[in-house]
Amino acid sequence: MAMASAPACAASELVAKGRKSAAFLQAMLGQQPASGAGATPHGLQDLADEILRCCDRALAALHGAMEEAAHAAAGSARKRKPEHGPVAIPPATSSKRIRLSGGERATRRVEKKWTMEDGFIWRKYGQKDIHGSKYPRLYFRCTYKEDHGCMARRQVQQSEADPSVYLINYFGEHTCCRDDDVFAAESPAPFVINFGASTRDEYPSSSPCWPSCNEDDGGLVASETSDLCHSPEEKELPAGMGNEAELIVESTPVPELTSMSSPEWDPLDGCLVWDIGFGECLFDDIIGEFTPLDYVGLFQ
């Protein structure tokens, strides 16, 4: 309900402002001439960079929480099987087969990441060479499928256009972290923004499914409904890996990969690849764009 999403929205705005400040800091550091042999701006830049990334992930986590809240709130207005976690996809819109156990149809979203890491723990259960694709498709299911009956699955495939990019198809939702007991006990933790380097320790094995702010994480950044997604990159998705995505999630190139050494790198755009432009716009606007239409009503 709105009462659940309002604090999340406020927190999201705060994180967004923090991120903006960090972006400016990083920009200022980038403009600083490397004067003073001892003063190494790279260390500070790395720090600012990490702050940016943590903010991004915090936003993503908040976004995910709001999405959950939105789904829960919209339960009466939107089609959702109450006894099944995954949201049903209208079969009529599905032209390609998506075989799911028990014939279920689940939420599906596509991410493009620079790493396969997403903070969740997956177990690989298959690999398949895909016709016409240079790279095999890897099949993963949640490690906690047995323990919690979590039906979350994902398919990972390297992009042919850019092999450094992984196209990750997510099916179903993680229920292993949504159990009432677990969620009640752990709910504060996932949204704690820890700017330190030991964030991984914030999420011990008791709640391993929450996306964590770790070094390897490519960063889940944003998601948009297919109606909102106009990214041309969606067209780059190989057959069966995004053409019918319910959600397209643009993911972040880790800044240090290119941006820190690139003179054209825009510090305000270095951490997130959004369909929208960053420019000088306030983050409030970004949140507006960041927020799927489903949630807009909840925030007002």
Residues 227-266 that bind DNA (CB under 7 A): 239-240
- 33, with CB counted inside 10 A (0-12, 13-18, 19+), is exposed
The answer to whether residues 54 and 195 touch, using CB atoms and an 8 Å cutoff, is: yes
Among 76, 83, 93, 97, binds DNA (CB under 7 A): 97
Distances 192 to 22, 32, 99, 151 between C-alpha atoms, Å: 18, 32, 37, 26
Return the DSSP state at 101.
G
CB-CB neighbours of 2 under 10 Å = 14
Q: 256, 236, 67: which is closest to 166 by C-alpha? A: 236
Residue number, 8 or 241, with CB nearest to DNA: 241
99 binds DNA (CB under 7 A): yes
Minimum distance between the CB of residue 209 and DNA, rounded to whole angstroms? Answer: 13
Among 79, 81, 128, 230, binds DNA (CB under 7 A): 128
Minimum distance between the CB of residue 292 and DNA, rounded to whole angstroms? Answer: 25
The answer to whether residues 51 and 27 touch, using CB atoms and an 8 Å cutoff, is: no
Phi then psi for residue 168, to 5 deg, are -115, 120
Minimum distance between the CB of residue 128 and DNA, rounded to whole angstroms? Answer: 5
124 binds DNA (CB under 7 A): yes
Among 82, 132, 232, 263, binds DNA (CB under 7 A): 132
153 binds DNA (CB under 7 A): yes
Binding site for DNA (CB under 7 A): 96-101, 103, 122-133, 137, 139, 141, 143, 153, 155, 171, 239-240
